[in-house]
């Protein structure tokens, strides 16, 4: 088939790599328009745009849904991975076999913008991926293929997305075979629907009066964006990784710090959390123990 792919971040690249060498023809790629980022407001290309540049594949930047209209006449199917623009039905109907989407949950659970983050935050025992036919709704289209994977309780969103995007290649491959064979996708079950809303920065501010398990899951879920955060001596301190502590017998109040020779521990409502890595305000990521030594934390000091 003549295939186009619509995607923006790195998680679309494994599928691009496969399409480039598959029996299908990768005709062109769509990515969202570059936006200013960083302190200088510089406009940088997306990961997908950079891949296209390196592999001499046509790449078209899309600012709005209508930009697709004149670029789909010669396409059999569009594969969508983390594209970020909702498309009207008349656009979805233009390719011969429509649009299919690789979604990072086992639908209908966690429809929406942040499925992996919400799954980790809520303590789901499994993570999933789904390939489905796009319709005008929010991840509501009929399903071609699904897969489920047991969640490592220490995995962060960054590692989970990397793993799932690689596993998704096979699911897309099999779904394209289904489409070529005329297999009809299955309507989503109306039971078990949940919505994975976008993560706001206000959610990332840690509340140390919650349980250690809840705080731990938030730290894992919110990395690499927006990154869990707290305050120390009035400055922002981002917490990039942590583990539940089961060996220390110290009794700490929520937010209270305890510094051993090799560990940074903080109290919660029901136990201790060991902070592994942090990003102090204005600095790069470092081991929490190195940060604590440099900060010369006093006994009984608090974060939050």
**pLDDT tens per residue across span 124-151:** 999 999 999 999 999 999 999 999 999 9
Predicted TM-score of the model (pTM):
0.94
Q: Do 182 and 246 fall within a single domain?
A: no
The answer to whether residue 42 scores a pLDDT higher than 70 is no
Q: Do 88 and 192 fall within a single domain?
A: yes
pLDDT band of 36, cuts 50, 70, 90 = low
Q: Do 39 and 177 fall within a single domain?
A: yes
Let me know if 145 is exposed, middle or buried by CB neighbors in 10 A (0-12, 13-18, 19+).
buried
Is residue 60 a part of any domain in this protein? yes
pLDDT band of 249, cuts 50, 70, 90 = confident
Q: Do 66 and 174 fall within a single domain?
A: yes
258, 252 contact by CB (below 8 A): yes
Is residue 116 a part of any domain in this protein? yes
Q: Do 50 and 183 fall within a single domain?
A: yes
Q: Do 58 and 172 fall within a single domain?
A: yes
pLDDT band of 167, cuts 50, 70, 90 = very high
Q: Is 244 helix (H, G, I), strand (E, B) or coil?
A: strand
Is residue 19 a part of any domain in this protein? yes
Alpha carbon 97 to chain centroid distance? 27
Averaged pLDDT for residues 197-211: 96
- Which of 181, 98, 177 has the alpha carbon at shortest distance from 134? 98
Place of tokens 């309507």: 187
- For 244, residues 6+ apart whose C-beta sits below 8 A from its C-beta are 212, 213, 216, 271, 272, 273, 274
- CA-only gyration radius of the chain, Å: 22
pLDDT at residue 35, as a whole number: 67
How many angstroms separate the CA atoms of 36 and 45, rounded? Answer: 10
Q: What are phi and psi of 285, to 5 degrees?
A: -60, 140
Provide the CB-side half-sphere exposure for 156 (13 A, CA).
Answer: 17
Is residue 233 a part of any domain in this protein? yes
Is residue 172 a part of any domain in this protein? yes
Place of tokens 């305890």: 258
218, 123 contact by CB (below 8 A): no
pLDDT band of 39, cuts 50, 70, 90 = low
Q: Do 86 and 189 fall within a single domain?
A: yes
How many angstroms separate the CA atoms of 85 and 99, rounded? Answer: 13
DSSP for residue 205: B
Is residue 110 a part of any domain in this protein? yes
DSSP one-letter string for 73-94? TT-SEEEEES------HHHHTS
* CATH number of the domain enclosing 266: 3.10.25.10
pLDDT one-digit tens code per residue, 65-109: 889 988 999 999 999 999 988 899 999 999 999 999 999 999 999
Averaged pLDDT for residues 18-45: 83
Q: Do 223 and 289 fall within a single domain?
A: yes
The answer to whether residue 57 scores a pLDDT higher than 90 is yes
274, 251 contact by CB (below 8 A): no
The answer to whether residue 37 scores a pLDDT higher than 90 is no
Q: Do 169 and 60 fall within a single domain?
A: yes
Q: Do 151 and 247 fall within a single domain?
A: no
Q: How many CB atoms lie within 10 A of CB 202?
A: 7
Domain coverage including residue 97: 2-196
How many angstroms separate the CA atoms of 182 and 131, rounded? Answer: 16
Which carries the bigger pLDDT value, residue 86 or residue 122? 122
Total domains in the chain come to 2
The answer to whether residue 230 scores a pLDDT higher than 70 is yes
Q: Is 116 helix (H, G, I), strand (E, B) or coil?
A: helix
80, 99 contact by CB (below 8 A): yes
Q: Do 22 and 132 fall within a single domain?
A: yes
Last residue of a domain, one of 146, 163, 196: 196
Is residue 113 a part of any domain in this protein? yes
* CATH number of the domain enclosing 174: 3.40.50.170
| Average pLDDT of the residues of the chain | 95
Q: Is 152 helix (H, G, I), strand (E, B) or coil?
A: coil
Is residue 302 a part of any domain in this protein? no
pLDDT at residue 44, as a whole number: 78
Last residue of a domain, one of 170, 196, 222: 196
pLDDT at residue 40, as a whole number: 57
Handedness of CA 5, 8, 12, 13 (dihedral sign): positive
Cα torsion through 173, 156, 48, 283, rounded to 10: -170
Last residue of a domain, one of 196, 230, 257: 196
49, 86 contact by CB (below 8 A): no
Please state which of the ranges 162-171, 181-190, 191-200, 242-251 shows the lowest mean pLDDT: 242-251
Q: Do 184 and 247 fall within a single domain?
A: no
pLDDT at residue 241, as a whole number: 99
């Amino acid at each position: 088939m003549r295939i186009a792919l619509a995607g923006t971040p790195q998680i679309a690249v494994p599928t691009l790599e496969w399409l480039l060498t598959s029996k299908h023809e990768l005709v062109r790629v769509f990515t969202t328009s570059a936006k200013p980022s960083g302190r200088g407001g510089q406009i940088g290309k997306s990961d997908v745009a950079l891949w296209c540049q390196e592999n001499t594949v046509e790449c078209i930047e899309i600012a709005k849904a209508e930009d697709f209209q004149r670029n789909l006449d010669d396409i059999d199917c569009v594969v969508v991975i983390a594209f970020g623009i909702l498309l009207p039905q008349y656009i979805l109907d233009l390719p011969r076999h429509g649009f299919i989407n690789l979604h990072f949950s086992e639908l209908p659970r966690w429809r929406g913008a942040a499925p992996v983050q919400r799954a980790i935050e809520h303590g789901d025992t499994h993570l999933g991926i789904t390939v489905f036919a796009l319709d005008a709704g929010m991840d509501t289209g009929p399903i071609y293929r699904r897969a489920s994977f047991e969640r490592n309780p220490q995995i962060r969103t960054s590692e989970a997305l990397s793993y799932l995007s690689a596993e998704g290649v096979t699911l897309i491959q099999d779904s394209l075979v289904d489409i070529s064979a005329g297999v009809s996708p299955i309507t989503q079950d109306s039971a078990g629907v949940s919505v994975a809303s976008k993560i706001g920065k206000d959610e990332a501010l840690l509340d140390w009066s919650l349980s250690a398990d809840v705080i731990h899951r938030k730290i894992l879920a919110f990395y690499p964006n927006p990154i869990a955060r707290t305050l120390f001596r009035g400055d922002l301190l981002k917490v990039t990784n942590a583990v539940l502590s089961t060996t220390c017998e110290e009794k700490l109040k929520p937010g209270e710090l305890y510094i051993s020779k090799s560990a940074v521990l903080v109290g919660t409502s029901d136990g201790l959390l060991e902070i592994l890595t942090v990003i102090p305000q204005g600095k790069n990521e470092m081991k929490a123990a190195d940060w604590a030594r440099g900060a010369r934390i006093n006994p009984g000091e608090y974060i939050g």
